[in-house]
A and B are shown apart, each in its own frame.
Chain A
Amino acid sequence: MTGLRVIKRSDRRLIVRRGVRLSGLLTLALLAGVSKPFEASAAGAAAPRTFPIVYLREAYPAPGIMPSLLETQPADEGLAGAEDGTAEINTTGKFLGLNFKLYVETLPAGADVAAQARRLFTRGPAVIVADLRADDLLKLADAPSIKGSLILDMRTTEDSLRQQDCRSNVFHILPNQAMRVDALAQFLVEKRWTRWFLLHGPTQEDAVYAADVRRSAARYGARVVAARSYDYSPGSRRSDTGYQQIQTQMPLATQVGSDYDVLFVADETDLFGDYLPYNTFDARPVVGTQGLIAAAWTPAFQSYSALQMQHRFELFAHRGMTERDYGAWLAVSIVGDAVMRGRTVSPAGIRAYLRSDKFLIAGFKGQGLTFRSWDQQLRQPVLIAQPLMVISMSPQNGFLHPGNTADTLGFDQPETQCRLAP
């Protein structure tokens, strides 16, 4: 899956770990010290109480060569957002006599997540911000040793985790695939670009994304007039004549008999999608996982006070804020809100608060964000963006819903396949 990728303008500086490592022996029973609700207090009152947040990630192998030199994956992607978020909720916490501490734990690549969880979570329920891929997230959620813990998933976008594989101890921050496709689809329908050529890659995620495109077409009255799979690897990234090969391959791949308005690309692993714009056989725009994309955040977004957030993050991390950074920042902000405004400290209490109508978090979208009760997905407007510019934000005007218009994006209650355990 791609969001908008990081465009770095400066050299990567040494990443300094600002978080604290969580050792197996380290106590999460710190929670026990935080039992009373927090009252606003004069600054400099009694010693602050500490509230722990565990940031759990895995040292996944670095991705291969990205199609564009401008794309990088910062080593602290995600974590920097969590650290910045922790600093920010501590600004509020400072005034309330409360200190949030981020415990960063990095599992080795290919780790047995359940076994690692057994090693790490020995002192009772914890609040975990999970920077894990879908399969690992599921293993963590099902690990007996984290019983009673709360997981904020700040990374995944897979539909399955919001549908048949949903879990009652997991809350999802970033929009899932179907939400993204619906966000793009509404934009296209609003523009009356309703004839789509679907070009999808070879992976399972691509197949899910492609199914979402067909689902959105049916929902909004658009049509997939042509569909094709692309499974040739354009192995020309670093060769001198790479662009010539691409200039030959892409028109071939996109020459279809039907007339269409836009090419909808499903390439979740960034294999070929970025080669499509200006290389299609017909003069058509490219939308989907590349080209015009849907995302919760891009480093170019500046509306609804997002500009201030971009400034703060740049000062903190010395680079632009990616969608994963935003997901982590928002996850930590949600914990801060639950503890300070929701006045709840146990994972079970936080879960109840996040599911209640008292909960509302600001995420620079011009409206408060809440969780859907049926699959615990964060309900949110979604940005429509090209690499340097945010073009629009969905839901689009005119797409109505009896409840919240943001529920026109993704899986609404009547169509959910999620059955949460109470």
Chain B
Amino acid sequence: MPSRPMTGRCTALLVLAVVVFSFAATARASELFVSNEVDDTVTVLDGDSYKVIATIPTDQRPRGIIETLDHKAVLVCDGDSSNIDVIDTKTLKVTRRINTGPDPETLAMSVSGDRIYVSNENNALVTVIDYATGKWITQVPVGIEPEGLAVSRDGRIVVVVSEETSMAHFIDTKTWQVVANVLLDTRPRVVVYTPDQRYLWASSEVGGTVSVIDPGSHQVVHVINFDIPGVDEQYIGPVGIRFTADGRTAFVALGRSNRVAVVNARTYEVEQYILVGQRPWQLTFSPDRSKLYVANGLTNDVTIIDVSSQKALKSVPVGRLPWGIAVVP
């Protein structure tokens, strides 16, 4: 736009713009909540400008982080403090602490939002907690270093992967028994149901693969390998997995290879590698799924990827050792 001396009309427009902007601000854009493992904080980023809105102090070693179904709260596991911090998404303050038992690493919510499932990394347990009261419903023994959790859409099954044992364990939520175990490649980190619930994808960080599991037969039906030209295969460490809503495409964070893989979820072909910051682990979509947010542990930033063009738009700084991201619309 050519520059001109400011006229009365322009001033009026400017005033209008300010009014509109402040109105939008009260409506509030989406927000990203990023857990910073080393800083003991959660960074809150504005979902439009990606500016830091707040830095919320948490208990020690915050890692796994999710939003509640009603988006009123963000829950973050504090590994070294044995609890979950409940962050009010309006006031951006920790309003409640829920005792989880030792070393909670990640968590998931039940389908109805009444229970939380927590993986206790040091204790080889999944702790089931009533969200309203914070009371423990049960603890389920699983493999060593349990981490990623997935809940089936019908709520009947919770799947947890254990890093040291290298297995996916299927927990029946009626009996709280482990009903099946599937051996995976070395050090699985994350497990996710495909949107159509037909398969589970589990990433193996040291194995360097993603296993596709049939949850009916409990068999691995396909193993996805990654091959990045010019990158040593030992740097390819798959962790976070996210599917587009139509289930056609999966994004897989590849750790020290500093890339996110774009995988065709029908053919299992890797279509692209998107260069991001250093050591991406967890990733998540914006509410409208047009953007993918990637937490880069070693560069202390979050990369924003445009989903349709599959291009990294920019990276924005957060705290030290960002681990996971929750998004609230």
Interface residues of A (CB under 8 A from B): 40-43, 88, 91-92, 95-96, 305, 308, 311-312, 315, 337, 340-341, 360-362, 366-368, 404-406
Given the known interface contacts A88-B144, A405-B232, the answer about A40 and B218 at a Cβ–Cβ threshold of 8 Å is yes
Is B107 engaged at the interface, CB distance under 8 Å to the other chain? no
Interface residues of B (CB under 8 A from A): 103, 121-122, 124, 143-145, 163-167, 169, 177-183, 185-187, 206-208, 218, 232, 234-235, 237, 256
Contact B122 A311 (CB under 8 A): yes
| Residues in A neighbouring B232, C-beta threshold 8 A | 404-405
- What is the minimal beta-carbon distance from A235 to any residue of chain B, in angstroms? 46
Q: What's the dominant secondary structure at chain B's contact region?
A: loop
Contact A366 B165 (CB under 8 A): no
List, sorted by A's number, 25 A–B pairs whose CB atoms are closer than 8 Å: A40-B218, A42-B181, A43-B177, A43-B181, A88-B165, A91-B124, A91-B165, A92-B165, A92-B183, A95-B143, A96-B181, A308-B121, A308-B122, A308-B163, A308-B164, A311-B103, A337-B186, A340-B183, A360-B186, A361-B186, A362-B187, A367-B234, A367-B235, A368-B206, A368-B207
Contact A404 B186 (CB under 8 A): no
Contact A92 B167 (CB under 8 A): yes
Given the known interface contacts A40-B218, A308-B121, the answer about A92 and B143 at a Cβ–Cβ threshold of 8 Å is yes
Contact A362 B206 (CB under 8 A): yes
Given the known interface contacts A311-B122, A362-B187, A405-B232, the answer about A43 and B178 at a Cβ–Cβ threshold of 8 Å is yes
Given the known interface contacts A362-B187, A368-B208, the answer about A341 and B166 at a Cβ–Cβ threshold of 8 Å is yes
CB contact between B163 and one of A40, A95, A305 (< 8 Å): that residue:
A305
| Residues in B neighbouring A362, C-beta threshold 8 A | 164, 186-187, 206
Contact A367 B206 (CB under 8 A): yes
Give the complex CA separation of A406 and B235 in angstroms.
Answer: 12
| Residues in B neighbouring A312, C-beta threshold 8 A | 122, 144
| Residues in B neighbouring A367, C-beta threshold 8 A | 206, 234-235, 237
Q: Which residue of A lies closest to B232 (CB)?
A: A405
Q: Which residue of B lies closest to A40 (CB)?
A: B181
Given the known interface contacts A40-B218, A312-B144, A404-B234, the answer about A360 and B207 at a Cβ–Cβ threshold of 8 Å is yes
Contact A92 B180 (CB under 8 A): no
| Residues in B neighbouring A96, C-beta threshold 8 A | 181, 183
Give the complex CA separation of A334 and B181 in angstroms.
Answer: 20
Give the complex CA separation of A340 and B177 in angstroms.
Answer: 22
Give the complex CA separation of A118 and B324 in angstroms.
Answer: 57
Give the complex CA separation of A341 and B207 in angstroms.
Answer: 12
Contact B164 A88 (CB under 8 A): yes
Give the complex CA separation of A367 and B205 in angstroms.
Answer: 8
Contact A366 B256 (CB under 8 A): yes
- What is the minimal beta-carbon distance from A312 to any residue of chain B, in angstroms? 7
Given the known interface contacts A40-B181, A360-B186, A368-B206, the answer about A95 and B165 at a Cβ–Cβ threshold of 8 Å is yes
Contact B143 A91 (CB under 8 A): yes
| Residues in A neighbouring B144, C-beta threshold 8 A | 88, 91-92, 312
Contact B169 A95 (CB under 8 A): yes
Give the complex CA separation of A95 and B187 in angstroms.
Answer: 16
Given the known interface contacts A91-B124, A360-B206, A360-B207, the answer about A308 and B145 at a Cβ–Cβ threshold of 8 Å is yes
- What is the minimal beta-carbon distance from B103 to any residue of chain A, in angstroms? 8
Give the complex CA separation of A91 and B166 in angstroms.
Answer: 10
Give the complex CA separation of A95 and B165 in angstroms.
Answer: 10
Give the complex CA separation of A78 and B197 in angstroms.
Answer: 46
- What is the minimal beta-carbon distance from A62 to any residue of chain B, in angstroms? 33
Give the complex CA separation of A158 and B33 in angstroms.
Answer: 51
| Residues in B neighbouring A405, C-beta threshold 8 A | 232, 234
| Residues in A neighbouring B208, C-beta threshold 8 A | 368
| Residues in B neighbouring A315, C-beta threshold 8 A | 122
